[in-house]
Structure 1
């Protein structure tokens, strides 16, 4: 029996190598698993767990999804008091690799030490239980360490917040280039990366050279990581991401407690301990790098908290800054950015007011301050701390800030087989607006045996400035086009040639390899040299190497195809030439699976009289791609080079494009069944339409007519499909759209778009689908689709349950069924960029309505179309906007009799601005009515002239207009002229904390608060308030001394006496039958859901699908997200036949009039809704938390005349009893209206216009 079990185990071990990991786990966890081989773990993963029930499942899922299977997963329960223990037990029951160690709460260091004690694998890593690991991270580090023999490996880190990812600056500095078997003396900057969880150690190295973590302190990982660098004989630095570091939304992690004095003291204690180790064991260069990190990161991160802290906290930080400042020599200072090291010096001197100003200056101007070059050194133009007689090095750009950047944008092979390379190169901090750098390029053979200088020409390249994305420097003049005479680097054997650049600008010199590549263009699909002669055995392959940067590799191959065919019976036919002597003759042609390199098809070679080798192959059925190789008699495998392109082209396909030979980017032969696919070969935008030329496989015109231009703001159906040749078509999409069934079309809204061929059910989406031509109500045939629903444009949108998966997986779905078959539910095809098009990407196109950037995704070839407003080149980007702001402030404008209106960031023409515009227009004002808009898609009232926000014309309008009317503030560049009046209307009833009370909750210093109040007082000449008691609020919160118009809100006039037929008109635009009960759900944004400036995720606690299903067909829910939700890139909502996302609908008053009841929360919309006297429900499951994080100016409950609901079930019950609920709160609504809306009588707009404009705007 024992021998049988052994044989089964050995057989399974061999067999399991071919099985996917999840299937192996299923078998091992089954009863059969008892007789299967027990493999020892390769890696021990230590996961301390303490009260992380909200994150633990996602963390463990990421570990179990690792491609590395042989793991010991050690969960250390550090005395959790929430549901973490149950989650651990559940996962341990499912996977035998999980081990649970329990202990009383002792802190992170003690928990990690307990895990280390339990570790039994040769490799060791750490993982915090609120973070995640990319799927291939552990496998890649194990493979690297096995290959290099280093003591540990470290990978790049991504930060995660609200589902959005960012990369810390130290990750970019450390992990730009792969460095294997490096020492800390060879790469001192590795000291910038000292977190524990993005790296993997040899367990023996940890136990013998590092030892345990310190217990009972925060930042316990800093000293062990520094020690590891110093004591390792070698370590590996990877460019790939090995860790996803979560920034908790609830701010409960240790690193988010920097406001606590104990946290500061712990950080300073471990810094002192690390300093002791560094001073004892490190070289002077390594000491400088580590001290530079202290100056640039460790001390400055506490300074904002010190500004808001008490004197004791400040005193601790001041003493530490002074102590460390004494250690900072010139070499250390070169590792720190000027604003950071100056802030440390100011703290050491106790100059807290100046520190405050410096931090605010840096926040507004970035770390990359304007600069001056003196004697070949770059200094920041900062006027802080000048009287302290600080060393010049304190103001000098850090080495990383002033490093050179050299980027390849694209390559093109010329007819003479020379290679043209275009890109840009510049030195960070050296402005090239009036300066042309001196560039020199060479190819250097990596074995050191040769160097070739290259010729180049300059090319002004605005993309260089856009790529740098800095506010104070232009780099357009760094563009280049260079030519490589490839014949001069072709050698008898293989060789590798590194592209290097020397840059001199204003006396500053930098040189080194070209390390970067624009990945949204040709990227990693750069083609190898074309074949000119069938006897040529050479390929020159350009690639971006993780260690060496851009290199040209010269490769020689012994076998080239000279004929390739695809028969109509599905056979692959060809003949081959042997160009070099082989150790043994070729005998077989084989196809290898691209994924696992396994042989799937083999056939004998037939040698003819001319010495050519012929073959016939039948590839496997189904979608896939296979590499062609030749196997010799002795078993050697050889790749096959592509024939002469001028004769064969780059693909050879059957008539339908379903089976083909393809030239790979590296010039080799592969076969493929692409399934159903669409590749774009050309993209062109004109004033009214977007045109694509495409090559298809497995699709006909009927399928292509379903194509959709899909974006985060709209979905547009194809207008025309025109045949151009076999499997070649031209698709056009309209770029003037009837949004929401408007009578007049408007230009396509800005956003990021892709093009998809959907199945019978179109993609599930929150986006309006619009069709070519006039407004659509009955031209879309949905007779066979019971799930058709009205979209935000009023056209019909249908649902596709598989759409989300298709987007995430980035795969082409579908099989090789008959051409023209309709795609089934859940299947869609995304258009990808063909190789010819990729060579010209990214590509910018400009029309009078749009600026289009054509590119591709960085990790696939899916086509990405980014539509922006039509700003000129000199108006785009941070530096252009900074300089336009400076131009505006320095220019003396001629006053113009006009009003500039603006709402929010220009996405809508709405709010009180719209009401004031309409009143002026009604009065036949002689004033020109100008609107600042985000793009030309914005629906404007009669008489409006749009200007694009950020354009020179917009800045000019701000400077010239006698009247300015906004519901938010202009940015910091704004400087009101004496002839101007600025009416601030605000965009909501005052309830939530604002001004001083809000700023104090954000730890603004009194100095900064005074600045913010002064800025607004200098800008506003009049403000509008809705009630008498509000005047005191605004004067108090902004120390406002100007005119207050106590008039009521102009925007509410339309709600007091709605125009006849408004509800019917709005429901028609929404394609909602008039007999439906319409519920408006309008949640406000939460600060915990903020994803950026002016952006936040949608609050999604209310289960709209369940609400809609429970209420049935008689109800329609209108979902109105906050304005901030428009600018968040994550999916905003889900839809069904009875849910319509109206976040982008242009006028909230329309929705208020059209709806029968509202589900609200803390939004000021409730005060407007009160005017209608319709029932309102309050879904406030986070009432206590919300009011704790955003304090109120007065009590919430008296302002909310409706039931307070906590769950979806409670909302369902309340809606079912809507009439009773309305009656119950009728008196409360009347009382609220009396208190808050007494001035809203339908004449507020007239009062404002009479008071603000000279002679009521009539002259």
Structure 2
């Protein structure tokens, strides 16, 4: 295939196109000349490989139509890849809001590849003997099929291509619109339900072995668009299911190469049982009368294989049915020789060998029972099965196996199962998030070889810190040695294979006080489901309701519902937003507490996002992006935030919006990053409007006022009041507050408290695009040296995800989910940080700081850049290694003495004003000249 124009252009030119509205005249001319030259050299075939909207942009660039290109680029930023389609027989692209844009037909003409089909399975169920597939299917940018022909479904044979038409019923499926990821079209009506009747399934079996794939057809411009339906990664739409028929056929309803299929199998022999008896593995196979009987069974592990002939089984073991039975016997000692220790799983491949030497899969008979047999301490032989009904053997660490799941009337999930007592002794149970890697230790009861785990999804305990609700995402269960340092030895909790069909399990938690989510304020729903056949997970539902979730519905809420609410009278309410709704913390928290202390008669509404932070009982809670939140944002008389809201937000007459912000800049920000590889000219261009939203922007000091005014293009004045959050260092009750924090965390008396609060690294990302925990401290060595008289509180940055090794063992405390770092400052005797703004806040305390700047040159010169020479102005030593850090902690008194003068200069430069009255000043200004105005505070 010919290379596309975008592939031929340089990275610089592609960047000019990406940020064309913000580009200079010289850059625009460079783009035009490059695009024109490439088209003249290679011809317009270089446009064909581009997506439709991208094709338009490159064409406009080559023609020098700058004004049109600006509008197209801005439109694509709002909804990447989104467009309208016109023309029934010869489909053409129309860009929303730009119907008058003059473009040649060769640019707007749409081919099949420009209109890809998404066909997604979401559920598989059995209704009696009928198979029912549920899902959604749509053509990109075509929310509705056109013409008189409706959608249809067929089964297509993988080899012959033969088609069997199926009954398809259209349904509503909001998941389609959410999954589309775009904001232009609503695909709710693209759901489907396809029924394959029991009679049809018997017909498929009667046709003999083979594989049939499910296809969906959708009428649209230019004809019928078809696609195979693809699977999900979990649940009933992500796993194969085996169905045995009366004639001995078996149907595997599931997936091949991500496509939904029905595989018809007619095995001549099946494995009926596999057990361990007197040191031998006894495998019993059965064959129907007249069927060819395999000659032997082969078990292979790596390059080593064991064979055993299948010999007829006679006597009392036989059954009076249509089957003949045979057995194969293997020495357990030979089979498990050289079995590794530890947590490694060692799988075996089992096949049935025919007389001619051909291998067949060891398929399981209906009613086969799995089991396990103990080997050396900590190891077992698992007689298992996979989702396609094949025999699986493996030696592995002894696993906890779930066999019972119930839900109490109070919404508590009770999970029970078997785990031999000698293996379970001394272990704890960890609930770990599959993406965030956040961990919670949940209670477990062990007795008589069984375990019982109780999970309160709305109040799950943390390893360190308060019990909090489970945030959205998948939570997996593990057993871990109580004294384990990290997760490397975790044993996963799995489901008994015979019970996988009992999932999904749906249940509801209790109603949460003060919670008003968009889904009508009902208790949150939870699901227990599975991945990788038998790995169970608990998944809370998303916080937003069906009419709120996804880019499309968020656009409708912003453009329609929010605007309608703005026409209604203002209410005496304050809406708070701290770090995107992920915390009840920071300066918005202190403003809230000051308003409560003064008794100002307003309703308090706190924004809460997926992190589900702890919230004050006296406030109402609204999920970010819910209808309740948009209503509060439109009608609250006061809005207090420490991050930006969105460029669509504009305050209304009579409404006060306060931006408290959340840091003193050491690393470069905003427009000061312009020209660096990671800068976004579009973001920088949006800054003036973003800060016009606010009546005033709070600054902690003169240094920040100068930088923020320039870097964030703040046109109005800044209020140099000091950060309300730093009043905590001057509060008269700070000692009592610190004592309450120590008690809440359970910190041991008499030990020095070290708080470690690093920032994130932009170049350290997970595949999920979340930032990795860049852990460079040797925590085990630190515990060995300091554990007797120190504790280390580890506070990850909100953008960083990863479990903290050693947490929960007495030295390392993971306090990431503690509501507010300000409380942790009070109990800390020493702060370790790097380039985080925490250093400017903690300087108010006069307590020593250490700077673990192991990557200073890279961070300063390549990654982000710093505003001043940190090597000369830092109020503490810059340390490169974990050994240096531990030594400095042991000699902290000497460090404090050495840096006393630098610390004083630093505090003078960055901690004024620092009198404990910042919150009062901010609240006075927020309320000034309004219905809740009070006499200004002194100072």
**TM-score, L = length of structure 1:** 0.63
Q: Distance between the aligned counterparts of 1:575 and 1:1091, measured in 2?
A: 47
Residue 931 (structure 2) pairs with residue 1251 (structure 1): no
Which of 546, 552, 556 is equivalent to 1:873? 546
Q: Which residue of 2 aligns with 1:1230?
A: 904
Measure how far apart 1:373 and its partner are.
4.0
How do 1:264-413 and structure 2 match up within 5 A?
300=14, 303-304=17-18, 315=29, 317-325=31-39, 333=47, 335-351=49-65, 355=69, 358-367=72-81, 369-375=82-88, 377=91, 379-383=93-97, 389-392=102-105, 394-395=107-108, 399-413=112-126
Q: Which residue of 2 aligns with 1:651?
A: 369
Which of 476, 486, 489 is equivalent to 2:201? 486
Q: Distance between the aligned counterparts of 2:6 and 2:524, measured in 1?
A: 46
Alpha carbons of 1:1118 and 1:302: their partners in 2 closer, same or farther (altered >3 Å)? same
Q: Distance between the aligned counterparts of 2:683 and 2:490, measured in 1?
A: 55
Which of 607, 610, 619 is equivalent to 1:932? 607
Q: Deviations over 1:198-227 (max 9, x none)?
A: xxxxxxxxxxxxxxxxxxxxxxxxxxxxxx
Q: Distance between the aligned counterparts of 2:406 and 2:186, measured in 1?
A: 28
Q: Distance between the aligned counterparts of 1:861 and 1:743, measured in 2?
A: 31
Alpha carbons of 1:635 and 1:1039: their partners in 2 closer, same or farther (altered >3 Å)? closer
Greater CA drift, 438-447 or 622-631: 622-631
Q: Which residue of 2 aligns with 1:885?
A: 558
Q: Which residue of 1 aligns with 2:442?
A: 717
Q: Which residue of 2 aligns with 1:732?
A: 454
Q: Which residue of 2 aligns with 1:438?
A: 150
Measure how far apart 1:1132 and its partner are.
5.2
Contact in 2 for aligned 1:435/1:477 (Cα 8 Å):
no
Alpha carbons of 1:921 and 1:693: their partners in 2 closer, same or farther (altered >3 Å)? closer
Residue 255 (structure 2) pairs with residue 544 (structure 1): yes
Aligned residue-pair number: 891
Contact in 1 for aligned 2:48/2:55 (Cα 8 Å):
no
SS of the residue aligned with 2:455? strand
Alpha carbons of 1:909 and 1:441: their partners in 2 closer, same or farther (altered >3 Å)? same
SS of the residue aligned with 2:474? strand
Q: Distance between the aligned counterparts of 1:329 and 1:687, measured in 2?
A: 70
SS of the residue aligned with 1:438? coil
SS of the residue aligned with 1:576? strand
SS of the residue aligned with 1:943? coil
Contact in 1 for aligned 2:85/2:93 (Cα 8 Å):
yes
Contact in 2 for aligned 1:656/1:697 (Cα 8 Å):
no
Which of 872, 875, 878 is equivalent to 1:1201? 875
Q: Deviations over 1:505-538 (max 9, x none)?
A: 5x56443341521132346741333132xxx243
Q: Which residue of 1 aligns with 2:519?
A: none
Q: Which residue of 2 aligns with 1:1167?
A: 840
Alpha carbons of 1:1012 and 1:355: their partners in 2 closer, same or farther (altered >3 Å)? farther
Measure how far apart 1:953 and its partner are.
0.9
Q: Distance between the aligned counterparts of 2:502 and 2:45, measured in 1?
A: 43
Which of 160, 163, 166 is equivalent to 1:451? 163
Residue 630 (structure 2) pairs with residue 923 (structure 1): no
Greater CA drift, 589-598 or 1057-1066: 589-598
Q: Deviations over 1:682-733 (max 9, x none)?
A: 767788545255664757996699443233333132466899xxx9987431
Q: Distance between the aligned counterparts of 1:975 and 1:1044, measured in 2?
A: 18
Q: Distance between the aligned counterparts of 1:1016 and 1:1094, measured in 2?
A: 28
Q: Which residue of 1 aligns with 2:311?
A: 604
Contact in 2 for aligned 1:903/1:909 (Cα 8 Å):
yes
Measure how far apart 1:755 and its partner are.
0.9
Q: Distance between the aligned counterparts of 1:1030 and 1:635, measured in 2?
A: 79
Q: Which residue of 2 aligns with 1:98?
A: none
Which of 1082, 1088, 1092 is equivalent to 2:763? 1088
Contact in 2 for aligned 1:559/1:576 (Cα 8 Å):
yes
Measure how far apart 1:1194 and its partner are.
4.9
Q: Distance between the aligned counterparts of 1:553 and 1:1212, measured in 2?
A: 61
Measure how far apart 1:977 and its partner are.
1.8
How do 1:561-960 and structure 2 match up within 5 A?
572=282, 574=284, 576-580=286-290, 582=292, 586=293, 588-593=295-300, 598-606=305-313, 613-621=324-332, 642-643=364-365, 645=366, 649-651=367-369, 665-667=387-389, 676-680=398-402, 689-691=411-413, 696=418, 706-711=428-433, 712-718=437-443, 731-737=453-459, 746-758=468-480, 761-762=481-482, 798-800=483-485, 803-804=487-488, 826=489, 828-832=491-495, 834=497, 836-837=499-500, 848=522, 850-857=524-531, 861-867=534-540, 869-893=542-566, 894=568, 895-935=570-610, 937-941=612-616, 943-960=618-635
Contact in 2 for aligned 1:408/1:514 (Cα 8 Å):
no
Q: Which residue of 1 aligns with 2:231?
A: 517
Contact in 2 for aligned 1:460/1:479 (Cα 8 Å):
yes
Alpha carbons of 1:677 and 1:471: their partners in 2 closer, same or farther (altered >3 Å)? farther
Contact in 2 for aligned 1:420/1:482 (Cα 8 Å):
yes
Measure how far apart 1:1250 and its partner are.
1.2
Q: Distance between the aligned counterparts of 1:419 and 1:1234, measured in 2?
A: 74
Contact in 1 for aligned 2:16/2:28 (Cα 8 Å):
no
Measure how far apart 1:1076 and its partner are.
1.2
Measure how far apart 1:1227 and its partner are.
3.1
Unaligned runs of 5+ in 2: 337-344, 511-521, 935-939
Contact in 1 for aligned 2:500/2:534 (Cα 8 Å):
no
Q: Which residue of 1 aligns with 2:515?
A: none
Contact in 2 for aligned 1:406/1:425 (Cα 8 Å):
yes
Contact in 2 for aligned 1:851/1:870 (Cα 8 Å):
no
Measure how far apart 1:968 and its partner are.
0.6
Measure how far apart 1:492 and its partner are.
5.4
Q: Distance between the aligned counterparts of 1:560 and 1:371, measured in 2?
A: 55
Alpha carbons of 1:1007 and 1:524: their partners in 2 closer, same or farther (altered >3 Å)? closer
How do 1:995-1144 and structure 2 match up within 5 A?
995-1001=670-676, 1009-1017=684-692, 1019-1028=693-702, 1030-1057=704-731, 1059=733, 1060-1089=735-764, 1095-1125=770-800, 1128=801, 1130-1131=802-803, 1135=807, 1137-1144=810-817
Q: Which residue of 2 aligns with 1:962?
A: 637
RMSD: 4.4
Contact in 2 for aligned 1:1160/1:1166 (Cα 8 Å):
yes
Q: Distance between the aligned counterparts of 1:875 and 1:685, measured in 2?
A: 28
Which of 555, 558, 567 is equivalent to 2:265? 555
Q: Which residue of 2 aligns with 1:499?
A: 214
Unaligned runs of 5+ in 1: 1-190, 192-286, 763-797, 805-825
Measure how far apart 1:1171 and its partner are.
1.6
SS of the residue aligned with 1:1100? coil
Contact in 2 for aligned 1:424/1:479 (Cα 8 Å):
yes
Q: Which residue of 1 aligns with 2:884?
A: 1210
Q: Distance between the aligned counterparts of 1:728 and 1:378, measured in 2?
A: 64
SS of the residue aligned with 1:1048? coil
How do 1:170-189 and structure 2 match up within 5 A?
none
SS of the residue aligned with 1:1252? helix
Q: Which residue of 1 aligns with 2:188?
A: 476
Alpha carbons of 1:1196 and 1:827: their partners in 2 closer, same or farther (altered >3 Å)? closer
Contact in 1 for aligned 2:250/2:264 (Cα 8 Å):
yes
Alpha carbons of 1:1070 and 1:1089: their partners in 2 closer, same or farther (altered >3 Å)? same
Measure how far apart 1:902 and its partner are.
1.0
Contact in 2 for aligned 1:925/1:1258 (Cα 8 Å):
no
Q: Distance between the aligned counterparts of 1:743 and 1:1101, measured in 2?
A: 24
Q: Distance between the aligned counterparts of 1:931 and 1:489, measured in 2?
A: 58
Alpha carbons of 1:1039 and 1:747: their partners in 2 closer, same or farther (altered >3 Å)? closer
Measure how far apart 1:553 and its partner are.
3.4
Measure how far apart 1:401 and its partner are.
4.9
